[in-house]
Chain A
Amino acid sequence: MSGILVYALHYEGAFNKNSLGAVSEGARLASELGTECHAIVVGEGVSDELAASLGAYGASKVYRVEGPEGLAQPVVDAMEAAIAAGGHGYALFGGGLLGFEIGAGLAARLDAGVCMEVTNVRVEGGKLVAERPILQDSQISSVHYRSDVGVIIGRLNAFEIKQTGGTATVEDLSVEFKAHSLQAKMLQRGEQRGADVNIEDADILVAGGRGLGNAESFQLLEDLAGALGGAVAATRAVVDAGWYSYSAQIGQTGKTVAPKLYLAAGISGAIQHKVGMQGSENIVAINKDANAPIFEFSDLGVVGKLEQIVPKLTEAVKARKGA
């Protein structure tokens, strides 16, 4: 049987949204291939209820493995063992950092083909073909697997969550972890830094990137967001640089937003950021670099210095709203 094995990431008793999307996608593809979609969960004391809940998204069986959480290498061992037991033809991951690490490690372990940033998977001649946008999304390449197992790593939010209302059996799988897989030790997981900001419910977001130049410049964006009646968001680069709060971060390791207006100031528009905001209704970008990729997917692009434009825009918005 050439089934599909999906990795499901969980934290504090709930599955990651991207993992649920991946299970739903795995179930869709399995049904087209005439096979089954299985999921695998690795953690400490995962409950029957949590594991079995993946049945509702289309998994017919869930492998439960007792092991350390939040690190990739033990999951590589677990998935290798599950594939050895179940003979799966594909390993599927939702977007996110762990999926990339586990998928790549598994590809090395199984000498398997791997494709990442996948936005669509199609069935062709009884096999899966992964579609991946490349070169700043200017082209989409089709990737065919020429190995016993094909590893498919989705782009963030690429796979839609679909409840099928099915049920899954839970099978405990005992895994002998490799020595090197247990050497990394999680000292602290999921630490929140900076103020707690809610950007997911905002209709208007003013987002800042490295082009702001320093943490103080975020005040310009606070003022504009205040005038527009919105909130301030940030890219990973500036959050990592300590300029803004982690809870306001958009993109691959941050939040996914789809406001009515997304105004990006000093943001180049890297894929990792784009995946978190491309669903926005109206995208306005201000950037001094006319070649910034963000202009390729903004509805209104302004080429100029944000430190000149943003304060004047704030005043103009206030004047317009006051009128």
Chain B
Amino acid sequence: MKICVLVKSVPEAGVTKRINPSTGRLERGGETRDNPFDTHAIEAAMQLKEGGELQVDEIVAVTMGPEAAAKALRKAVSLGADRSIHLSDEALAGSDVNGTGYALARVLATESPDLVLLGQQSDDGECYTIGAVVADHLQMPSLTQVIKIDVEGGALRCERQAEYGYDTVSIPLPAVISVGDAINEPRYPSLKAIMGAKKKPLETKSAADAGIEADRVGYDHARAHCAEFAEPPAKAAGQIIEDEDTSETVEKIVAWLDERKLLA
């Protein structure tokens, strides 16, 4: 069977993220890295492969984004993916959740995966939702924010936290599962794997290659259109104490609490 893992490049944690006011889009310049949640999805795929209860023949990393997004694919193959697909097309730039999920689903459809795994959220857009969009297009059962996957009779027994406690759900394959960061501790790639990553096949596809209808993607066709950007109501900045002498720090905290009558 084949597992496809969706990955994404996001701005490096230290890079100040800002919206370009004239385009309404996140500026994607500056250093990028793979979305931290994605490594959990790749690790989950690797554990299913190594667990041996499913015969996993191939793990394919898939991303959508500009040229720099290929970095996330290299990380994915260094962590164990066998090959990768980069959907890259200027026509896709500025797609909203609906357009992005549709485009990714088109690429995935060409691969006919038995399982699609992804991280539950990206570090920049914080959308949580791509998994559910992709699943509806692929007409597969789906679950998001999964923190435990066991193979049981060829189906996946998934656990997650929902509104009322922990839910356990059985999902037959093929399926789309997004995972939370509590699901595993991702491994670090070995130097050899990092070096070898460049040798693994990377296929670049255009929107047309994937059969993506042009009027469903890109900024101009976004069904949800971000127009204006405003500053939120300012909250008075809090007081900050740098802990140099802990006794002094603690004295300051106690005085602060005392002033507010919280130690009564």
Which of A's residues lie within 8 Å of B, judged by CB? 9, 11, 16, 70-73, 76, 96-98, 100-105, 107-109, 111-117, 130, 133-135, 137-147, 150, 153, 178-181, 183-193, 204, 228, 236-237, 239-241, 246, 249, 253, 260-261, 271, 282-284, 290-291, 295-305, 308-309, 312-313, 316-317, 320-321
Binds A, one of B47-55, B59-67, B165-173, B203-211: B165-173
- Whether A302 contacts B241 in the complex (CB less than 8 A), given A135-B18, A142-B230, A316-B250, comes out as yes
CB-defined contacts of B143 to chain A, threshold 8 Å: 184
**B242 sits at the interface (CB 8 A):** yes
- Whether A140 contacts B229 in the complex (CB less than 8 A), given A104-B132, A105-B136, comes out as yes
A261 to B259, CA, bound (A): 13
Mark B233-263 against chain A: 1 for CB-CB distance below 8 A, else 0: 0010011111100110111011011101011
Assess whether A143 is in contact with B102, with CB atoms less than 8 Å apart. Answer: no
Query: Per a CB cutoff under 8 Å, which of B98, B137, B162 touches A253?
Result: B162
Mark B190-229 against chain A: 1 for CB-CB distance below 8 A, else 0: 0000000000000000000000000010000011111111
Binds A, one of B69-77, B82-90, B107-115, B121-129: B121-129
Assess whether B172 is in contact with A191, with CB atoms less than 8 Å apart. Answer: no
Assess whether A271 is in contact with B98, with CB atoms less than 8 Å apart. Answer: no
Q: How far is the CB of B95 from chain A (nearest CB, A)?
A: 12
Q: How far is the CB of A279 from chain B (nearest CB, A)?
A: 13
Assess whether B127 is in contact with A116, with CB atoms less than 8 Å apart. Answer: yes
Q: How far is the CB of B36 from chain A (nearest CB, A)?
A: 12
Q: Which residue of B lies closest to A278 (CB)?
A: B235
Q: List 21 A-B contacts (CB under 8 A).
A: A100-B128, A101-B144, A103-B129, A105-B142, A108-B136, A141-B229, A141-B230, A142-B226, A153-B129, A184-B142, A184-B169, A240-B180, A253-B162, A284-B257, A300-B239, A300-B241, A301-B240, A303-B241, A303-B242, A309-B243, A309-B250
CB-defined contacts of B132 to chain A, threshold 8 Å: 72, 100-102, 104-105, 108
